[in-house]
Amino acid sequence: MQGKLDTRKALISGGASGIGEATARLFASEGAAVLIADIDDAGGERVVREIREAGGVAHYRRVDVTDRSAVRRMVHDAADTLGGLGILFNNAMTNPSADYSEDERWNLMLESGLSAYWAAATEAAPILARSGHGAIVSNASIAGARLGIEFASEAYSAAKAGVLGLSRKLAKRFGPEGVRSNAICPGIIETPRWRSPGQAEPQFARRWRQMAPLGRFGKTDEVARLVLFFASDDASYITGQDIAIDGGFTTAMRFESVDFLAD
């Protein structure tokens, strides 16, 4: 049986773990050749090795998404390595360390989580257009993009809100060339930011998890399937849109299910 992405070439930033890793694995299983870009060499090389062992096509490149020139080179490196490019998944975002100043935190997160998305997308668009099925998918978040919430900093929220505006503008600019642009807005997902699969639930996360009508953490493979939808022909007439994947958190939050005094 043919996969949904047979013969397609995909670039995934932040593909060494979490949502990016799950997406790289799913894309490869659906027939895409993927290039994973990350600063986690061990993680990226592990994912590539495991995809290849499963019969897929994958490559890894070390890329620091706080370096805009490196982001642009990443696009051309991916196209050269894969023999073209039809899908870009903007997913990476650098987390500042605890000793960063507010200005440093702001600059780092806006550069890695918004400016890098813009640089990658605008550099990739002409190459994506030549594929005949160009798709840009960008990872936003319910934080900032859908609501202001205490677990996200101002810098993170601003970057993620900006991703939605950027995605819509990219849809307008590159739609006439046949390139679609959409965004995903994950909620509380089993990634290291919240908890990794199998780990105990952190106290701070319990309240937010309980507020979601589905009452559980989302899984990275569930998010990956949404990215696949936007990247594939299943979404061939969809552009400029965003979908929250949050267990209903932003539309039907269950305040009454949480004992706020217990924290």
For the chain, the structural domain boundaries read 9-262
Give the pLDDT of residue 162.
97
- Dihedral sign (CA 129, 89, 52, 41): positive
List 60, 100, 117, 156, catalytic entry: 156
**What is 9-262's CATH topology?**
Rossmann fold (3.40.50)
Q: What is the DSSP string of 100-158?
A: --HHHHHHHHHIIIIIHHHHHHHHHHHHHHHHTS-EEEEE--HHHHTB--TTS-HHHHH
Residue with tokens 């890098």: 116
Q: Calculate what percentage of the chain has a pLDDT beyond 70.
A: 93
CA pair distance 90, 23, nearest whole angstrom: 11
Query: Is 237 in the active site?
Result: no
Give the pLDDT of residue 1.
65
Give the pLDDT of residue 196.
65
Contact (Cβ atoms closer than 8 angstroms) between residue 38 and residue 16: yes
Give the pLDDT of residue 86.
98
Spans of the chain, pLDDT less than 50 = none
Contact (Cβ atoms closer than 8 angstroms) between residue 53 and residue 45: no
Give the pLDDT of residue 209.
82
Give the pLDDT of residue 38.
98
